[in-house]
Amino acid sequence: MPDLDFIVEKAEPAAMAASPHLNFTLSVSNAEAEAVLAVALRCQVRIDPAGRAYDEEEKRRLRDLFGEPARWGQTMRSMLWAHTSVMVGGFVGRTSVEMPVACTFDFNVAATKYFDALGDGEAPLSFLFSGTIFYPSVEGHLQVSPIPWEKEAKFRLPVQTWRRMMEIYYPNSAWLNLRKDVFDALHDFKMREGLATWEQA
């Protein structure tokens, strides 16, 4: 039965995607000397904020998430960032695949607040894997096996990679969330006055 291991090698902004995505290059290896026909891979991506140090400016910007730094021992916990999935094609020994993770610039989302608060360095991430492995038996029959829940990988995402992605999709701009009635009033004003941009409105 296949015994898969996972290594996250790098991350890059997705080229020409309809919305902001990071593509994580994932190395998948099988400890057993047998073919794998396919893997239906699922992944939970978590941010591990306690896995790095923060300067004074970062501490100030992170108060919205974790409160005063003196309380971070109680408030700073691992945060779910995203769920993603990808199909891994057949391989023997080792293969690699790009695993997309959708991102948002909505400042009501904790992950956005966290990444934006970091001045530089790296963001510590955990990738928790699950899914289904398809492989042939010695007689050639299709076999199915789950990926054990303990399979995971660590990765330190360069903050500048996240910033570069957001600059591609939202150059020199940020999202501001408004109540629906406020947005409707602003939208009506923008159309009535013939204004070209939301900033002008």
Stretch (H or E) spanning 165: helix 159-169
User: pTM for this one?
Assistant: 0.87
Q: Is 19 helix (H, G, I), strand (E, B) or coil?
A: coil
Instruction: Tell me how long the chain is.
Output: 201
| pLDDT of the residue at 84 | 96
| pLDDT of the residue at 137 | 86
| pLDDT of the residue at 31 | 87
Q: What is the spatial distance between Cα 26 and Cα 7, in angstroms, rounded to a whole number?
A: 6
Which regions in the chain score pLDDT beneath 50? none
Q: Of 17, 15, 26, which Cα lies nearest the Cα of 125?
A: 26
| pLDDT of the residue at 199 | 79
Residue type for position 4: L
| pLDDT of the residue at 42 | 97
Residue 130 CB partners (closer than 8 Å, separation 6+): 42, 43, 44, 146, 147, 149, 151
| pLDDT of the residue at 18 | 85
| pLDDT of the residue at 63 | 92
Q: What does the pLDDT look like over 95-107, one tens digit per residue? A: 999 999 999 888 8
| pLDDT of the residue at 140 | 80
